[in-house]
Amino acid sequence: MKRIIIAITGATGTIYAVRLMELLRAETTLEVHLVMSRAAKMTLKMEHDADLDYIHGLAHEVHDYGNIGASISSGSFHSSGMIVAPCSIKTMSNIAMGNTGDLISRAADVVLKERRPLLIAIRETPLHAGHLENLIKLSRLGAIIFPPVPAFYNKPVTLQDVVDQSCMRMLDQFDIHIESAPRWGEQGGIPAVGQQIEGGKKES
Ligand SMILES: Cc1cc2nc3c(=O)[nH]c(=O)nc-3n(C[C@H](O)[C@H](O)[C@H](O)COP(=O)(O)O)c2cc1C
C-alpha cells in the first residue's frame, strides 16, 4: 500500500489539514500517517470545530511529535512523500536548516534526503528576506513550496470552496487526483464537508 505523511503545524489554517485528511480517506489505496506539533493542537482548538479524535480517526497511523524514533523518521520507511499543511515559519526554517529535533522536521528531512516529494504549505504573510532565503533553500533541495493561495477562476462561493481547491492542487503534486473542486475546462464533484468518503473517487 502506498503511504503519505501529513504533518500539521501551528500556523493558522488547520482547516487545510482537516480537509486533506478527509479527501485522502477517499483514496482506499493510500495509507495516511499523521503527525501534529504541540502548537498545531493548540491552533486547531482555537480555529476549527473538528476535535483531535476526529482528525486522528482520519489517519491510519498517528505518530507522536516527540517520538523521533517513529517509523516515519527513517528512510527505510517507504512513502510517496509528505505534506506539511499548514506549515509555520518555525517548522519551515527548521527543515531548511536541517534542525531535526522533532518528528515533523526529521520526517521532512528524511523525505528530502530520499528524494521524495515534500510539500510545504507555508502560511505567513508578509514574508521577510530570512523567510524567503529559507524557502529558496528548500526549493533548491527539491521541496514544493505551496503557499495555499486561493484561485478565483473557479468562482468560489464558500470558504470551503477555497480550501477544497487548494487541497486538490496540493494532492495533484503527488499524482493523487481527487476532484474536490472544478478544474479549468473540466467538470468535477465536490464531496460534502466533514464527510468521510467511502469507495474511492467521486465520478464526474
Ligand atoms: C492562532 C495562531 C495562529 C498562528 N498563525 C501562524 C501562522 O500563520 N504562521 C506562522 O508561522 N506561525 C503562526 N503562529 C505561531 C506558531 O504557532 C508558533 O510559531 C509555533 O511555535 C509553531 O510551532 P510548530 O511549527 O512546532 O507548530 C500562530 C499561532 C497561533 C496561536
The atom of ligand 1 lying closest to the CA of 42 is 31
In this model, does residue 194 exceed pLDDT 60?
no
If you measure from the C-alpha of residue 89 to the centroid of ligand 1, how many angstroms do you get, rounded to a whole number? 8
End-to-end CA distance of the chain: 25
pLDDT-based confidence at residue 185 (cuts at 50, 70, 90): confident
**Residue of 8, 12, 65, 127 best suited for mutating to test ligand 1, as the one with most atoms within 8 Å of CB:** 12
14 Cβ closer than 6 Å to some ligand 1 atom: no
If you measure from the C-alpha of residue 39 to the centroid of ligand 1, how many angstroms do you get, rounded to a whole number? 7
- What is the average pLDDT across 186-191? 54
Domain residue ranges in the chain: 2-172
pTM, two decimal places: 0.92
Task: Output the pLDDT for position 193.
Answer: 56
In this model, does residue 58 exceed pLDDT 50?
yes
| Cα separations in angstroms, 133 against 94, 112, 130 | 13, 18, 5
The atom of ligand 1 lying closest to the CA of 102 is 26
**Cα–Cα nearest to 39, from 98, 129, 112, 104:** 104
Distance CA 127, CA 155 (A): 27
| Cα separations in angstroms, 67 against 103, 154, 181 | 6, 41, 36
**Cα–Cα nearest to 160, from 50, 6, 38, 7:** 50
40 Cβ closer than 6 Å to some ligand 1 atom: yes
Question: Which fold would CATH assign to domain 2-172?
Answer: Rossmann fold (3.40.50)
Lowest mean pLDDT among 79-83, 141-145, 200-204: 200-204
Distance CA 16, CA 102 (A): 22
The atom of ligand 1 lying closest to the CA of 8 is 27
Distance CA 192, CA 166 (A): 16
In this model, does residue 94 exceed pLDDT 90?
yes
If you measure from the C-alpha of residue 150 to the centroid of ligand 1, how many angstroms do you get, rounded to a whole number? 20
Task: Output the pLDDT for position 112.
Answer: 98
The set of residues, in sequence order, having a beta carbon less than 8 Å from that of 150 and lying 6+ positions away, is 156, 162, 165, 166
122 Cβ closer than 6 Å to some ligand 1 atom: no
- What is the average pLDDT across 147-156? 92
Looking at ligand 1, which residue's alpha carbon is closest to its atom 16? 10
The atom of ligand 1 lying closest to the CA of 91 is 25
- Going edge to edge, which strands form the sheet with 61-63? 61-63, 30-36, 2-8, 82-87, 118-122, 144-145
* Range with the largest mean pLDDT of 108-117, 153-162, 173-182: 108-117
In this model, does residue 81 exceed pLDDT 80?
yes
Task: Output the pLDDT for position 195.
Answer: 45
CA angle 89–94–96, rounded 5-degree value:
95
Task: Output the pLDDT for position 11.
Answer: 98
